[in-house]
């Protein structure tokens, strides 16, 4: 049994996911507020496409570096209740809404219209001691901006972030999960 949450009143609705196939879209009506909303069953198309692209090519030195753990972001859509976990790579991780031909290398599959296609950037680098350092900057063009807690990041602002930092872009929250130092 699986639970979904109504985006309007937050009531949980339980259903048997084994009766449906991957990729199938279900529409629910909340018994309390009568709001209708939909969900898609199974693995996201974006994640399966990324896995397929990785399997097709031969590994390059960049891909070998890519396989190292540089941390990840946990994406939780506040309105649409969709969760994703995306790995970070060394250098700039451009975060934005996934659309065909996007320039974001860490694209979020979302229906949140307030997330720009290139909304913010998390840069992963190493300091002089060899520790991983995470720096956040805003890259949104639609004016919704990037927030860390209640702090609004301006266009030229950069902010050092660490494990557990909650970043808000549009109606979507991102939680940084730093890599475990070895």
The residue behind tokens 């520790």 is 131
User: The pTM is what?
Assistant: 0.62
What is the bridge-based pairing of β-strands 91-97 and 106-108?
parallel
Between 40 and 120, name the one with better pLDDT.
120
Asked if residues 120 and 138 have their Cβ atoms less than 8 Å apart, the reply is yes
Secondary structure class of 51 (helix, strand, coil): helix
pLDDT at 90 over 80: yes
Architecture field, domain 70-177: Sandwich (2.60)
Residue 122, both tokens: 């998390």
Residue 141: half-sphere exposure toward Cβ, Cα within 13 Å: 5
The pLDDT score that the predictor gives to residue 159 is 94
Residue 113, both tokens: 């219209």
Chain segment 19-76, per-residue pLDDT in tens: 888 777 788 888 888 888 778 776 555 555 555 545 544 444 444 444 577 888 878 7
The per-residue pLDDT of the chain, averaged, comes to 80
Closest CA to 166 of 182, 143, 140, 146: 146
b or e along 50-74 (b: 16 or more beta carbons within 10 Å of the residue's beta carbon)?
eeeeeeeeeeeeeeeeeeeebbbbe
The pLDDT score that the predictor gives to residue 134 is 96
Ordered by start, the domain boundaries in the chain are 2-40, 70-177
Q: How far apart are CA 92 and CA 86, in angstroms?
A: 14
Q: How far apart are CA 7 and CA 19, in angstroms?
A: 23
């Amino acid at each position: 049994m699986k639970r979904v949450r109504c985006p309007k009143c937050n009531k949980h609705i339980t259903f048997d996911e084994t009766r449906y196939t991957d990729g199938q879209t279900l529409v629910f009506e909340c018994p309390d507020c009568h709001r209708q909303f939909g969900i898609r069953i199974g693995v996201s198309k974006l994640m399966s496409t990324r896995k397929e692209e990785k399997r097709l090519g031969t590994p390059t030195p960049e891909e070998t570096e890519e396989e190292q753990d540089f941390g990840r972001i946990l994406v939780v859509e506040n309105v649409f209740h969709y969760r994703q976990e995306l790995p970070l790579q060394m250098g700039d991780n451009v975060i934005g809404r996934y659309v065909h031909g996007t320039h974001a290398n860490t694209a979020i599959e979302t229906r949140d219209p307030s997330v720009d296609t290139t909304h913010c950037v998390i840069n992963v680098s190493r300091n002089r001691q060899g520790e991983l350092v995470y720096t956040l900057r805003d890259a949104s063009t639609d004016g919704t901006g990037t927030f860390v807690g209640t702090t609004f990041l301006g266009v030229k602002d950069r902010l050092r972030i660490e494990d557990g930092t909650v970043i808000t872009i549009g109606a979507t929250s991102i939680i940084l999960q730093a890599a475990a130092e070895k």
